[in-house]
Amino acid sequence: MTPDHHSQNDILFARAQHSTPGGVNSPVRAFRSVGGTPRFITRAEGPYFWDADGKRYIDYIGSWGPAIVGHAHPQVVKAVQDAAARGLSFGAPTEGEIEIAEELCRLVPSLEQVRLVSSGTEATMSALRLARGATGRDKIVKFEGCYHGHADSLLVKAGSGLLTFGNPTSAGVPEDFVKHTLVLDYNNVPQLEDAFASMGDSIACVIVEAVAGNMNLIRATPEFLQRMRELCTEYGAVLIFDEVMSGFRVGLGGAQELYGIVPDLTALGKVIGGGLPVAAFGGRADLMEKMAPVGPVYQAGTLSGNPVAVAAGMTTLKLVQEPGFYDRLAAQTNKLADGLTAAAQEAGIPFCADAVGGMFGMYFSSHVPASYGQMMAGDKARFNSFFHGMLEEGVYFAPAMFEAGFVSAAHDDAVIAETVEAARRVFARLV
């Protein structure tokens, strides 16, 4: 089918605009960054999904991470069906919530206790409140390009001067709400040291994506995280790793295991719900015991620990513990990154790729970026042409240059090879 004409996707997108702002329930889905019509998905299985025209795509988003065992994995579907048949939600505790909490604490050693919530946004928002409640301090530090959900105090970009407080990135966020948020450069150790030297005693917490996946894929340097850990300890600030994306994605123990750094609190989401709404925050028991009902920091949720969602999450967590799961996942992801890089090279296109566990980044530049600024300097026009070329070929990458990609256990050698072949054709056509 030629691009977007007489497509059911066009018809649905036009219809969706009337009842929903921009036709989508989360902005990136609208394809604003790449242009064109978003695909409306009708079903998914393994590494594939199908759009409203019946066209099949190899999917490298996996619902932005959760579909790590492949779409509609039979064991996950069965667990959800069984749980649903027993009732959808009770608003009272269940044994399943204990099981998943125990499993998370066992798999991620820094977690002594966890609290379940329904989205990553809630997890980070609650972790911040806890850090502030526990320290009695207001200021928080975040890094440019890291995304931590859409809580008011996190929708902020760097202020005009070094070490000045941030400006809201969304209408509707009062400046007063972000005046306690300091936004620093990712991987900039001296700047972090300056921030602590000048106001360390009033910093409640530092929140960071240790492997950043919301400014394409960017790895933290080990020194950056190590120094962050030391400074937080020295000044009594809470170190929060936002592993909503990297948790159970870059490896079984998350980015903290990869770097060998123990945060005080961790936010989880995406994979731990296996495609249904489960997220969590947790960490040191002495901090977590500051949460209601035992402590003074309030937090709650009607659907928190929902039994159907927990069944999907728990089954997914079982599947990723099969022997060799992450080794295979990383091997497939590396094959993809290497294959794409070789294909671009053949066509003489400046391109590189990086991969950590089951996450990858593609950069239309000659080196892997280390900061938000470097990432944004990539060739967006070329990325967009590549994106649409691949879409036509039946390969669905994230519809924006500043997003990471995700491989699942269902992406076998044939799927990766088909992707690389398609990329070879698309790179050859790029100018």
Ligand X SMILES: *Cc1c(COP(=O)(O)O)cnc(C)c1O
- Report the catalytic residues: 147, 242, 270
Binders of ligand X in range 80-99 (CB under 6 A): none
When the beta carbons of 70 and 149 are compared against ligand X, the nearer one is 149
- In angstroms, give the least distance from the CB of 371 to ligand X: 17
- In angstroms, give the least distance from the CB of 426 to ligand X: 27
Q: Per rule CB under 6 A, is residue 245 in the interface with ligand X? A: yes
- In angstroms, give the least distance from the CB of 359 to ligand X: 10
- In angstroms, give the least distance from the CB of 245 to ligand X: 3
User: How large is the C-alpha radius of gyration of the chain?
Assistant: 21
Mapping DSSP onto H, E and C, the string for the chain reads CCCCCCCHHHHHHHHHHHHCHHHCCCHHHHCCCCCCCCCCEEEEEECEEEECCCCEEEECCCCCCCCCCCECCHHHHHHHHHHHHCCCCCCCCCHHHHHHHHHHHHHCCCCCEEEEECCHHHHHHHHHHHHHHHHCCCEEEEECCCCCCCCHHHCEECCCCCCCECEECCCCCCHHHHCCEEEECCCCHHHHHHHHHHHHHHEEEEEECCEECCCCCEECCHHHHHHHHHHHHHHCCEEEEEECCCCCCCCCCHHHHHHCCCCCEEEECHHHHECECCEEEEECHHHHCCECCCCCECCCCCCCCCHHHHHHHHHHHHHCCCCCHHHHHHHHHHHHHHHHHHHHHHHCCCCEEEEECCEEEEECCCCCCCCHHHHHCCCHHHHHHHHHHHHHCCEECCCCCCCCEECCCCCCHHHHHHHHHHHHHHHHHCC
- In angstroms, give the least distance from the CB of 269 to ligand X: 5
Q: Which of 9, 63, 135, 214 is the binder for ligand X (CB under 6 A)? A: 214
Q: Per rule CB under 6 A, is residue 264 in the interface with ligand X? A: no
Q: Note whether 91 and 323 are within 8 A (CB).
A: no
Taking CB under 6 A as the binding criterion, the range among 89-97, 101-109, 113-121, 175-183 that sits at the site for ligand X is 113-121
Taking CB under 6 A as the binding criterion, the range among 115-123, 283-291, 322-330, 411-419 that sits at the site for ligand X is 115-123
Q: Per rule CB under 6 A, is residue 216 in the interface with ligand X? A: no
Query: Which is nearest to 375 in space by CA: 66, 146, 51?
Result: 146
Query: Can you read off the two tokens belonging to residue 230?
Result: 């030391």
Cα 93 to the center of its chain, rounded Å:
28
Q: Per rule CB under 6 A, is residue 120 in the interface with ligand X? A: yes
Q: Which of 124, 256, 304, 374 is the binder for ligand X (CB under 6 A)? A: 124
Q: Per rule CB under 6 A, is residue 242 in the interface with ligand X? A: yes
- In angstroms, give the least distance from the CB of 246 to ligand X: 7
When the beta carbons of 127 and 320 are compared against ligand X, the nearer one is 127
Judged by CB under 6 A, how many residues of this single chain contact ligand X?
Answer: 15
CA distance 232 to 47: 41
Q: Per rule CB under 6 A, is residue 313 in the interface with ligand X? A: no
When the beta carbons of 32 and 388 are compared against ligand X, the nearer one is 32
Q: Per rule CB under 6 A, is residue 209 in the interface with ligand X? A: yes
Q: Per rule CB under 6 A, is residue 411 in the interface with ligand X? A: no
Q: Which of 37, 94, 110, 121 is the binder for ligand X (CB under 6 A)? A: 121
Q: Per rule CB under 6 A, is residue 391 in the interface with ligand X? A: no
- In angstroms, give the least distance from the CB of 122 to ligand X: 7
- In angstroms, give the least distance from the CB of 196 to ligand X: 23
Half-sphere exposure of 255 (CA within 13 A, CB side): 29
When the beta carbons of 396 and 406 are compared against ligand X, the nearer one is 406
When the beta carbons of 7 and 124 are compared against ligand X, the nearer one is 124
Q: Per rule CB under 6 A, is residue 149 in the interface with ligand X? A: yes
Q: Per rule CB under 6 A, is residue 147 in the interface with ligand X? A: yes
CA distances from 384 to 3, 58, 77, 318, 379 (A): 14, 18, 35, 37, 9
Binders of ligand X in range 4-63 (CB under 6 A): none
Q: Per rule CB under 6 A, is residue 244 in the interface with ligand X? A: yes
When the beta carbons of 254 and 339 are compared against ligand X, the nearer one is 254
When the beta carbons of 217 and 336 are compared against ligand X, the nearer one is 217
Q: Per rule CB under 6 A, is residue 119 in the interface with ligand X? A: yes
Given the rule CB under 6 A, which residues bind ligand X? 119-121, 124, 147-149, 209, 213-214, 242, 244-245, 269, 279
